Structure 1
Amino acid sequence: MVLSDAERELLQSWVRRRSSAQSLVLRSRIVLESADGRAIAEVARRLATTTDTVRTWCRRFLERRLDGLCDEPRPGVPRKISDADVERVIPTPRSYAEIFLNVVAYVEHPAGGHFAAWEQPSAYTDDLRRAVKIAKELPSGSADS
């Protein structure tokens, strides 16, 4: 499978974006890994999915390129709220934290998802070390507020 530079860049941005649907992130990773020359079974193993899933999304990408990775319209009443509207209304973790907590440091990683310690252990370890250092430097009692 061969990707254009523009396709690769867009797929990588979907993977990095925190607001991307997890289904789109998985599909993007499948295509990226396949385009890097990995076998179907290896892609499935690396992404903890089935070989049928890898085959399906590779086939759909080859047939319709990037449009093939988007969800098909579902039966029933069309949605009245777009994904962009949802992203504007639901606060990002940082904005939510800044409203309710005394944020002294914030790091946003381009990848890692819900299992950051497992997916990027070195970045997670670096964050923990940085947090401990910052906590030690805070005046006594300021970390409680």
Structure 2
Amino acid sequence: MANKTAPALVLREGDRAELERLTRAGTVRASAAQRARIVLLAADGVGNQVIADTVGVSRPTVNLWRDRYTARGLAGLEDEPRPGRPRQVDRAAILAATLVPPPASLGVTHWSSRLLAPRVGVDHATVAGVWKEFGVKPWKEDTFKFSTDPELVAKVTDVVGLYLAPPDNAVVLCVDEKSQIQALDRTQKVLPLRPGHAEQRTHDYVRHGTTTLLAALEVATGTVTGLCKDRHRHQEFLVFLKHVARAYPERELHLVMDNYATHKKAEVRDWLAANSRIHVHFTPTSGSWLNLVEVWFGIIERQAIRRGTFTSVRDLMASIRAFITGWNRRKHPFIWTKTPDEILDKIDRKRKHVSSTRH
């Protein structure tokens, strides 16, 4: 006897687009995509047995999701709460197990939900749910480094005080170098941004050399004074300091810079000593995060360098100069908000935390 074909399922208005999206999306559960496919085939008039064979389920399963959609629409395709008492999950035990490093026998550096699940007697989705609930991310790591500068407190107080209360009639400039900026040229033409498609570039590239960007950020306005040099020795740094001095004639300048060797060469110290209107404030060792020009270096890296394609070092330098020119037209002040006490308290809490977790 021939199989009877069930009538085509009538979709509710607007549901077809969502069902098609569910079948294509790579981030939805496989079960959700399967149910959407069953309903779409049923709406196209395909018989239940053919749908079952195509999707790889039983015919009663096809009937189930047809009926559920007919009764409740898209909401009917969601999982329903299972009968009986909800299973109790020992969240504390899962968290405690997560915070203990994996045994050496596993040969891994951190837990995954699938590795931990059998050890705590639950499925990996439950482990992942507990991690999400409590903000635990074993796969992620951050970096830190404590400054060993014996003058840490004095330097933090000096530099941050300069940001929060700059001297009257003076200019505060954050100075540093961004070295080894590579002029990278992609091996094939970049495919531009289009609706539905991100910009695409080849993973490989040709190096055409490097340049060093020396920059001075005026904290109060965001104005940047910059020079590109082939090298970053003390000779180039001294040339840059003279360039900055010419850019701010007859103004008292307070320069924030790090302890890099080129900043402390005898020639540099002698020139600074001969220019009494220029005052230097050093950040602590391993404290470059106090220098606001580092924030600006991050901006130019993201907006002009990282995705740039440069056929030569000269091309790269021209792009950097163009960015600085454009930046100075749309500049904005760089505002520091944390007080020295807040920063030092946070450092102290971090030190205590690290000390308490040592084995």
Name the TM-score, length of structure 1 as normaliser: 0.52
Write the letter of the residue equivalent to 2:48: I
- State the partner residue of 2:159: none
- State the partner residue of 2:87: 76
Asked whether the 8 Å contact 2:12–2:73 carries over to 1, the reply is no
CA distance in 1, matches of 2:55, 2:73: 20
Aligned pairs (5 A) from 1:49-128: 49-74=57-82, 75-76=86-87, 81=129
- State the partner residue of 1:9: 17
CA distance in 2, matches of 1:69, 1:30: 10
- State the partner residue of 2:33: 25
Gaps of 5+ in 1: 90-103, 105-133, 140-145
Write the letter of the residue equivalent to 1:7: D
Aligned pairs (5 A) from 1:129-140: none
Deviant stretches of 4+, over 2 Å: 73-81
CA distance in 1, matches of 2:87, 2:29: 21
Q: Which has the higher contact order (CA 8 A, sep 6+)?
A: 1
- State the partner residue of 1:48: 56
CA distance in 2, matches of 1:67, 1:77: 26
Q: CA RMSD in A?
A: 3.1
| Aligned-pair CA distance for 1:49 | 1.1
Q: How many residues align?
A: 89
Write the deviation string for residues 26-48 of structure 1: whole angstroms up to 9, x where unpaired.
10000000000011001001111
What's the secondary structure of 2:14's corresponding residue?
helix
- State the partner residue of 1:93: none
Write the letter of the residue equivalent to 1:39: G
Write the deviation string for residues 34-65 of structure 1: whole angstroms up to 9, x where unpaired.
00001100100111111011011111111111
| Aligned-pair CA distance for 1:77 | 5.4
- State the partner residue of 1:35: 43
Name the TM-score, length of structure 2 as normaliser: 0.22
CA distance in 2, matches of 1:9, 1:41: 25
What's the secondary structure of 2:87's corresponding residue?
coil
Percent identity between the aligned chains?
Answer: 32
What's the secondary structure of 1:37's corresponding residue?
coil
CA distance in 1, matches of 2:17, 2:88: 34
Structure with a larger share of its residues in strand: 2
| Aligned-pair CA distance for 1:5 | 4.5
Structure with a larger share of its residues in helix: 1
Q: Find the structure with the greater CA-based Rg.
A: 2
Gaps of 5+ in 2: 1-8, 90-125, 138-187, 189-201, 207-359
Write the letter of the residue equivalent to 1:18: G
